[in-house]
Structure 1
Amino acid sequence: MPHSENVFRPQADLGIGDDCALVSVPAGMQLAVSADTLVCGVHFPESTSPFDIGYKALAVNLSDLAAMGATPAWFTLCVTLQDQSEQWVEAFCDGMASLTRIHPILLIGGDTTRGPLSVSVQVMGLIPVGEALTRAGAQDGDDIYVSGCIGEAALGLARVLKASENQSSSQYDPMLDRLNRPTPRVALGLALRSVAHACIDVSDGLLADLNHILHSSGAGARLDLDAIPVADGASTMQSITAGDDYELCFAAPAHRRDTVNELARALSLPITRIGVITAQPGMVDQNNHPLTPTGYTHF
């Protein structure tokens, strides 16, 4: 990592081994806390490798911290195992550890039990008081941006579900990487604290998650569907209503366009302006046709 000597490395006052872990929040900081559960057959196919399960379980939580502009600090892990082998557990841990080497975050506790395979991770991060990115705050005239490319994970999932039994699971497919190993946009989230008015990570679909910003901000949006960066081979509507992208969608004032472009160059990350926040509630396309904010539904 560039400038790794300056990377924040979290410590715990009391770590694994007691009934609770103890951590101290530095003066002038707030603690950001989030949790996600991944269930086999619901959030990942049964054929998913243990390495990828471990990686994704932590990655989706780091994405929540990124959306708030938080520096990762600590996490807990609860795993329900059915009949997984020691080798399975080692590979699972390797997947999770591969992310902790990129984003220093300290495991401080958790639980294991027997039952259908599921993984629950709770993450904690640090944000200077008053600087957190939230879903509220988008203003009339703000530009709407999205990082990366939308819809690649959906293509990856479709390929997994359609794969024949004799297809090699080791065959490299970048779309499967986007499904199983999403990239938490932590660096972008940190940089956006002084730029964006509102932010969210795209987990349930671009339209559905953007709608959370609009609801929280009491605003609407006009999107240029032709500008949205979608996966090759996928339609725009398929891409913007699918989930598992784990990109950041954010609203920023128009006068910060040069700043956003500089961020894209500095991070070597495409950041695309896809629309504008409006005072009129609701979501429409560039031709003022209404858009229904559909996406992944949990129940």
Structure 2
Amino acid sequence: MGGEAGRTVGKVALITGSTRGIGKSLAFGMAAAGYSVVINGTTETGVERTVREIERRSGTAGKVIGIAADVGSHEAVQAMVDTAIEEFGRVDVLVNNAGIVRDRISYKMSIEEWRQVIDVHLHGAFYCVYACLPYMKEAGSGSIINMISTAGLEGCPGQANYSTAKAGLVGLTYTLAQELLRFSIRVNAVAPAALTDMTAPFIQIAEEKARMKGEDLPDYWKVGDPEDLIPLFLYLAEPPSTVTGSIFSMNGTRWSIWERPHPIYTFSKEERWTSDEIAAKIDRLTK
């Protein structure tokens, strides 16, 4: 990582939800690459433990501080960013990684379960962007990376709240990339798949179901390690990358660039369409 560290010395990365799982791995990787890193979590204990772990790791070129804050609170996020600026004077990279799940089929989901997930994933990401943008604009550069999910790209039964929040982050990514291009601030999103304490229970259930049926585990349940994601995030974080407004997915050694939604068929005529005419077109295409 010698070349990366040379580019990133003095740069600061704020990674939300970085006391465990993918966020924690990214914090280790970015610190090793030369970034000063702001660790975020919901508990002081988890934050302090992660900071100590990074500080103990040999070869870490950057500094690290930890801030316990609930990203679902605008006030808490603003205080977190203010502290980061007081300590380091800048924020160059924002990774919106914090997230929770409250999985339940839509017709059994409570309003509170809906609200909690939207607050952390969607509102929390915007609060972080809102707080960091003045400093990125002043610097004339920056990188925002939103952590999304294929659930937000394709839908997922039992995750109406999570899928909606992640789909919202896709729209936010596209919009911010266009708005912030003139300030040389790049905005991208990544849908990761990795074995973490959040995904492990679901994978174990899938493995048990496959075993009981005498079947192999479906490929989409076979995931890589969180560390596999580090090179992609390091690339997106800093020049020479110029990519913005793109959606990536990554699982182990397999990664993809996703195409934006676009019309696959377009129809027009002089007069207003009737329902029967529309039905005829759709029926012809779906048979």
> So what's the TM-score if we normalise by structure 2?
0.32
Q: Which has the higher strand share?
A: 1
Structure number with greater Rg is 2
Q: Which has the higher helix share?
A: 2
Higher relative contact order (CA 8 A, sep 6+): 1
